[in-house]
């Protein structure tokens, strides 16, 4: 206990230096946790994906449609339990600033395939019954203060014109990783209007969403589906939902790598700061370690003192940084609106924060500990302080 | 008489660049149990070197050092550290208390190596502080104590483990006359009342006069014993 007391008091002996170092650690951990959370947010689509869902799209590109007639053929593939389909609609709500991912989907099968979008029974019924109905995630509804029954007008970009919907439900995410910023409406509503204005674009879908019984057969089923349409006019590319989402993330990979890199650079900088503080602290006290050595203390005790002190500094900083990450994230989310649909500080990030603070504490203590352990005992004869 | 310290044919030299400085040459010294020895001599004569050898914080080039029956020149670094914990109490010129520990905690510190329980440590530390007359300053930090009081805490710290020998290098070198007197009386008392073996290096003839025996070190040679009038 006395050693613990001593190492705590040592940690706060140069009060200003310690406070500045702890503050630097706090900021570093805050920044690190924050950047990690941004990266997580980017991957949220991947995280939220289910191994029991496949996505089939045109092999040429994401924006090239497939005939809706493929649906029946896909349904017959062994292991396929459910087929839904839809289109990325890309409509704009009032202004382009308002980022609301919106899709035209076959509603009944879609909701069955995505049980994580939770609607009350009445909302679900109302949505399915209203051809012009739509549902939106809780976050968008809150952001734009939508109420059930409101009329929502989207300006089409891919499908020109003004499109009017009635909000029939506000869905909640089953899990924290569920995206609550999207809007869904009936594929038929889109298709029927297309038949009138762009008949050649009607009866085509952007993607099929396929439910399978056994995730272990995902690769096999994907191949089988794609082989059905080999050498046809529109060949397909089928992959798991996760692979599909990863494909999106890959487009912005350079940014992600940069963010990750920065987050690790921050750790290296904080390591340098703590190491510098520790080496100053220990250098000023070498005679004290020498005095302890004359008393018979050796490396185990001296290591405890030096590493303990270093860890007190880094973990104090880390814990305050971790605590501050929450209000910081809240401010950020409020400012960003629905741009990052899922922005959750994960347990993993917090654990990583803590592991890093321990690793930094130990690394920063290595050289000072070595110096303290090897201080010549004769040094004890010089004046302390 | 029963010798607690035996130095046999001790030589010690230091290397300074390419030059080798011979500090101690063929030193033979026997210190009986219960001795209060003062080692005097001009600056640079090797007094501290000799004391450090006896205390096991430095090693001779050749010769043997036997303290309470153990040849400490044969011990490894770790063994030597452990040996010091049980056999040697140090008193330094600059007291060298740990500034962030109270008087009591400073005295308790060496007991961490002894395996005593917390209660026993407390008892021993308080007893040691009583001996030096500072039991009323337990919770004071070194900066709140005078030089003389700090040195008395340091003496309590040196005796708390009940070591075989107490070594002191210029224990009064940094003290005013009055405090020096107090510290020396305390050492003399430890020697006479508790039969503690004390080896003290000093420049000050008045300090040396408190010892039972004075030996002079000059140019690496230890001169004949001279009993003091004490
Ligand atoms: N670690 C060392 N390295 C090199 N030379 C040393 C070392 N320690 C002591 N010396 C040299 O050995 C000689 C004796 O030193 P020592 O400290 O024992 O003398 P001293 O009698 O205690 O002197 P003082 O009265 O000034 O304390 C000196 O010349 C000193 O410079
Ligand atoms: Mg000296």
Q: What is the mean pLDDT of chain A?
A: 93
Q: Whose CA is nearest to atom 4 of ligand 1?
A: B14
Q: Is residue B23 in contact with ligand 1, taking CB distance under 6 Å?
A: yes
Q: How high is the pLDDT of residue A251?
A: 82
Q: Is residue B47 in contact with ligand 1, taking CB distance under 6 Å?
A: yes
A291-332: per-residue pLDDT in tens?
999 999 999 999 999 999 999 999 999 999 999 999 998 898
- φ, ψ of residue B29 in degrees (nearest 5): -155, 130
Q: Is residue B60 in contact with ligand 1, taking CB distance under 6 Å?
A: no
Q: Domain spanning B3-227: which CATH class is it, in words?
A: alpha beta
Q: How high is the pLDDT of residue A41?
A: 87
Are residues B96 and A378, on separate chains, in Cβ contact within 8 Å?
A: no
* Ligand whose nearest atom lies closest to the CA of B203: 1
Residue in chain A closest to B158 (alpha carbons) equals: A295
Testing the interface with A: which of B58, B81, B110 to mutate, by most A Cβ within 10 A?
B81
Q: How high is the pLDDT of residue A333?
A: 83
B96-134: per-residue pLDDT in tens?
999 999 999 999 999 999 989 999 999 999 999 999 999
What's the pTM?
0.82
Q: How many Å apart are CA A259 and CA A275, to the nearest integer?
A: 24
A12-56: per-residue pLDDT in tens?
999 999 999 999 999 999 999 999 998 888 888 888 889 999 999
Q: How high is the pLDDT of residue A378?
A: 81
More confident residue, A108 or A385: A108
**Which whole number is the average pLDDT over A169-187?**
93
Q: How high is the pLDDT of residue A25?
A: 97
Q: How high is the pLDDT of residue B223?
A: 78
Residue percentage of chain A with pLDDT more than 90 = 80
User: How distant is the Cα of A342 from the closest Cα of chain B, in angstroms?
Assistant: 49
Say if residue B225's pLDDT is above 70.
Answer: no
Distances (CA, A) of A260 to A32, A33, A109, A266, A270: 9, 11, 38, 10, 16
Q: Whose CA is nearest to atom 17 of ligand 1?
A: B48
Q: Is residue B15 in contact with ligand 1, taking CB distance under 6 Å?
A: no
Q: Which long-range contacts (CB under 8 A, 24 or more apart) does B128-137 make?
A: B128/B156, B128/B157, B128/B159, B128/B160, B129/B103, B129/B104, B129/B153, B129/B156, B131/B156, B131/B159, B131/B190, B132/B156, B132/B186, B133/B186, B134/B103, B137/B103
Q: How high is the pLDDT of residue A45?
A: 84
Residue in chain A closest to B80 (alpha carbons) equals: A296
Q: How high is the pLDDT of residue B230?
A: 44
Band (pLDDT 50/70/90 cuts) for residue A336 is confident
Q: Are B23 and B12 in contact (CB under 8 A)?
A: yes
Residue in the structure block whose two tokens are 């700061």: A273
Q: Whose CA is nearest to atom 10 of ligand 1?
A: B14
Say if residue B229's pLDDT is above 60.
Answer: no
Q: Does A5 touch chain B (CB under 8 A)?
A: yes
């Amino acid at each position: 206990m006395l050693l613990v007391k001593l190492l705590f008091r040592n940690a706060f002996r140069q009060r200003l230096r310690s406070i500045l170092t702890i503050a630097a650690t706090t900021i570093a951990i805050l920044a690190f946790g924050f950047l990690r959370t941004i990266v997580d947010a980017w991957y949220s689509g991947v995280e939220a994906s289910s191994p029991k869902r496949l996505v089939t799209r045109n092999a040429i590109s994401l924006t090239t449609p497939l005939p809706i007639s493929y649906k029946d053929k896909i349904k017959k593939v062994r292991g396929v339990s459910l087929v839904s389909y839809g289109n990325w609609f890309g409509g704009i709500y009032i202004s382009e600033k308002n980022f609301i991912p919106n899709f035209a989907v076959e509603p009944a099968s879609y909701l069955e395939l995505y049980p994580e979008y939770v609607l009350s029974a009445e909302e679900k019924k109302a949505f399915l019954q209203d051809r012009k109905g739509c549902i939106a995630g809780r976050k968008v509804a809150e952001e734009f203060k939508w109420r059930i029954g409101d009329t929502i007008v989207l300006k089409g970009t891919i499908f020109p014109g003004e499109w009017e919907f009635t909000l029939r439900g506000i869905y909640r995410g089953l899990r924290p990783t569920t995206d609550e910023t999207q809007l869904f409406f009936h594929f038929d509503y889109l298709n029927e209007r297309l038949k009138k204005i762009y008949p050649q674009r009607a009866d085509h879908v952007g993607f099929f969403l396929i439910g399978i019984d056994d995730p272990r057969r995902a690769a096999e089923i994907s191949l089988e589906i794609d082989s059905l349409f080999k050498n046809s006019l529109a060949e397909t590319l089928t992959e798991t939902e996760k692979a599909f989402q990863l494909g999106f993330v890959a487009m912005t990979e350079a940014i992600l790598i940069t963010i990750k890199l920065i987050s690790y650079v921050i750790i290296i900088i904080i390591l340098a700061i703590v190491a510098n503080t520790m080496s100053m602290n220990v250098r000023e006290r070498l005679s004290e370690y020498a005095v302890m050595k004359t008393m018979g203390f050796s490396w185990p005790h001296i290591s405890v003192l030096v590493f303990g002190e270093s860890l007190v500094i880094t973990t104090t900083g880390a814990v305050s940084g971790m605590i501050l990450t929450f209000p910081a994230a809240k401010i950020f989310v409020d400012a960003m609106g629905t741009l990052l649909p899922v922005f959750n500080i994960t347990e993993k990030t917090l654990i990583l924060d803590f592991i890093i603070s321990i690793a930094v504490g130990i690394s920063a203590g290595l050289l000072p500990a070595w110096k303290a352990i090897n201080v010549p005992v004769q040094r004890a004869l010089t004046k302390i302080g | 008489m029963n010798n607690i310290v035996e130095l046999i044919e001790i030589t010690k030299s230091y290397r300074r660049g390419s030059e080798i400085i011979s500090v101690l040459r063929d030193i033979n010294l026997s210190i009986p149990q219960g001795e209060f020895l003062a080692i005097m001599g001009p600056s640079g004569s090797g007094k501290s070197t000799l004391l450090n050898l006896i205390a096991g914080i430095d090693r001779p080039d050749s010769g043997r050092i036997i303290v309470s029956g153990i040849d400490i020149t044969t011990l490894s670094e770790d063994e030597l550290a452990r040996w010091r914990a049980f056999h040697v109490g140090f008193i330094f010129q600059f007291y060298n208390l740990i500034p962030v520990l109270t008087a009591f905690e400073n005295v308790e510190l060496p007991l961490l190596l002894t395996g005593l329980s917390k209660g026993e440590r407390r008892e021993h530390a308080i007893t040691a502080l009583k001996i030096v007359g500072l039991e009323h300053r337990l919770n004071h930090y070194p900066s709140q104590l005078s030089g003389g009081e700090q040195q008395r805490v340091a003496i309590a710290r040196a005796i708390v483990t009940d070591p075989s020998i107490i070594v002191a290098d210029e224990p009064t070198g940094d003290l005013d006359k009055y405090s020096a007197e107090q510290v020396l009386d305390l050492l003399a008392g430890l020697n006479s009342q508790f039969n503690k073996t004390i080896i003290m290096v000093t420049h000050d003839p008045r300090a040396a006069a408190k010892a039972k025996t004075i030996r002079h070190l000059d140019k690496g040679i230890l001169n004949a014993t001279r009993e003091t009038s004490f």
